[in-house]
Amino acid sequence: MTDYRKFVAEDIRRIVLDELSRQPSYRLNDDLLLRVLETYGHNKNRDYLRAELDWLARARAVTLADVGGIVIAELTETGLDHVERRKLIAGIAKPKPVV
């Protein structure tokens, strides 16, 4: 993986975790996550996002559920620890400081 592709993947993973942490239920479906990524300038397809969600699931940062072909991601305690900077996960960009 090139440095740029690695940077993009790590940034997308951070954005996904940040957005999940903002949700009252800590959950979002992949369609809404694609729209969130677009607002941050990441125009990716569903297959790319699902591969990154699988990566986050293997890192135990999220759990995934398939409901009728829609993937729902839910933040785990490990993922929240990363977002809140208590324990960082290698392969995910460092969270932005709270201003």
DSSP state of 83: H
Cα–Cα distance for residue pair 46/2, rounded to 1 Å: 21
pLDDT at 25: 97
Residue 99: pLDDT above 80?
no
The CATH architecture to which 3-83 belongs is Orthogonal Bundle (1.10)
3-state secondary structure of 71: strand
Q: Stretch 26-37: mean pLDDT, rounded?
A: 98
- Which has the closest alpha carbon to 63: 20, 12, 18, 11? 20
Which pLDDT band holds residue 2 (cuts at 50, 70, 90)? confident
Q: Stretch 22-30: mean pLDDT, rounded?
A: 98
Q: pLDDT of 71-96, one tens digit each? A: 999 999 999 999 999 999 999 999 98
Question: Exposed, middle or buried by CB within 10 Å (0-12, 13-18, 19+), for 10?
Answer: middle
Q: pLDDT of 59-72, one tens digit each? A: 999 999 999 999 99
Task: For the chain, report the end-to-end CA distance as a whole number of angstroms.
Answer: 32
The residue extents of the domains of the chain are 3-83
Q: Which residues contact 98 (CB under 8 A, 6 or more apart)?
A: none
